[in-house]
Amino acid sequence: MARFALGIEYDGSRFCGWQTQKSGCSVQDAVERALSAVAAERVATICAGRTDAGVHATAQVVHFDCDVARPDTAWVRGVNAHLPDAVAVQWVRVVPETFHARYGALERRYHYLLLDQPVRPALNRDHVGWIHQRLDIAPMQEAALALTGEHDFSAFRSSECQAKSPVRHLRQIRIERRGDYVVFELAANAFLHHMVRNIVGTLVYIGSGRKVAGWAYEVLESRDRSLAAPTISGAGLYLTGVDYEAGFLGQVPSRSVWFNVPGL
- What does CATH list as the number for 2-104? 3.30.70.580
Architecture of the domain delimited by 107-239: 2-Layer Sandwich (3.30)
Among the listed residues 11, 52, 116, 243, the single catalytic one is: 52
What is the mean pLDDT of the segment spanning 137-148? 97
Q: Is-catalytic flag, 72?
A: no
Write out pLDDT tens, residues 171-218. Answer: 999 999 999 999 999 999 999 999 999 999 999 999 999 999 999 999
* Mean pLDDT for all residues in the chain: 93
C-alpha 169/C-alpha 105 separation (Å) is 13
* pTM (global) more than 0.75: yes
Greatest alpha-carbon span in the chain: 58
Q: Is-same-fold flag (2-104; 107-239)? A: yes
Which positions ≥6 away from 139 have C-beta within 8 Å? 206, 207, 212, 213
Q: Where are the domains of the chain?
A: 2-104, 107-239
Write out pLDDT tens, residues 25-67. Answer: 999 999 999 999 999 999 999 999 999 999 999 999 999 999 9
Share of the chain above pLDDT 70, in %: 93
What is the mean pLDDT of the segment spanning 120-145? 97
**Bigger pLDDT: 161 or 251?**
161
Q: What share of the chain is helix, strand, coil (3-state, %, to 5)?
A: 25, 30, 45
Residue 75's SS3 state is helix
pLDDT greater than 90 at residue 247: no
